[in-house]
Amino acid sequence: MKKSMKAVLTASVAALCMFGIGMTANAYELSSEVQDVTPALREATTIGVWSHKNPAMAHAKNKDAILVMTFGTTFKDTRAKTIDAVKEAIQKAHPDIPVFEAYTSHIIIDRVKANEGIQKLTPEQAFDKLQAEGYNRIAVVSLDIIPGIEYSYKSIVTKMQMNRFKSISIATPLMYYQGTEDAPDQVVEFLNAVKVQLPKMGKTDATLLMAHGTPHPGNAYYSVIQDRIEEIGLDNVFVYSVEGRPNLEDVIPKLKAHGIKHVTLMPIMMVAGDHANNDMAGDEPDSHKSILMKEGISVDAYIHGLGENKEIRNIYVERSNEAISALD
């Protein structure tokens, strides 16, 4: 029988606690007939914010920290307006809990060090630092847009630390729930936040939202985004990706079918870095701008990362709230 998605509050929870496995914010409720709730079964049914509580450290005095994980960027201007701005918003919302940072891209870490003399930490190094400084309850906030490869890595590296801390959690990315059962539709929430930056458009104008794309099954979120765009009545707005599907070649026939003569290219990435400045809006013949211009379509580019959008920052603050709540 199909069960509703809700907080796990069944007799099976007691069995999980015996294994020292922490609760999550949401999961599929297991049938009361399930007697042997294994760690694997519990992990497989985890939905939403993941958390773990270490019974061996149950009596330790709480010392909380927030760890913001991001891919990172070598573009200083956009970093200040996006990643740093999100961190500042989270810190403002939680003035009594220090906010730390980790970059997942080793290449970006090396380049920032070489070019700016700034040492960014990997997630593993950040966890080492937090433990060395005595923090024992860690709320991780991922600045990913969808649950793809990057979010999977952040989740795995967080789970690998669970025996080092009293309590640890990781929030969901910007978009996670899609309105199924009793869950919110975070894709619509995302689009409502993005709507404020869309340009005014006539019948022959369109806006193309450039996503990153991924070989991960999470790439399907882009099709969901397009579905919700149409559902909420955003005319002539199309999603495409740099490294996934749909790509620009998929979208061009739609533009022609709608009689589009002018487009605004707009990244839906945390930062306006290399993809936005070069792949999307560069002057090279294989840039998206150049390809569209060859098709007879005039192009404007909106080169701003999502972190510049106050409504997007507010969503990440809410993700931090959820991660902190999961520590208790």
What is the rounded distance in angstroms from the CA atom of residue 267 to the CA atom of residue 301? Answer: 9
Hey, is 99 helix, strand or coil? strand
Active site residue 94: no
Tokens 């200040």 correspond to: 80
Reference 95, options 261, 317, 327; nearest CA is: 317
CA trace torsion 145, 168, 89, 306 (10° rounding): -10
* Residues ≥6 apart with Cβ < 8 Å to 21: 39, 42, 52
Number of helices (H), then strands (E), belonging to the chain: the values are 13, 12
Tokens 């069995």 correspond to: 15
Among residues 52, 212, 275, 288, the one annotated as catalytic is 212
Reference 270, options 69, 67, 82, 81; nearest CA is: 82
* Residues ≥6 apart with Cβ < 8 Å to 141: 66, 67, 68, 69, 90, 170, 171, 316, 319, 320, 323
What is the rounded distance in angstroms from the CA atom of residue 253 to the CA atom of residue 300? Answer: 19
What is the rounded distance in angstroms from the CA atom of residue 305 to the CA atom of residue 316? Answer: 14
Residue spans of beta strands (DSSP E) within the chain: 5-6, 26-28, 46-47, 50-53, 64-70, 99-103, 137-142, 167-170, 205-211, 237-241, 262-267, 298-301
* Residues ≥6 apart with Cβ < 8 Å to 27: 5, 7, 8, 42, 45, 46, 47, 48
Residues carrying an active site annotation: 212
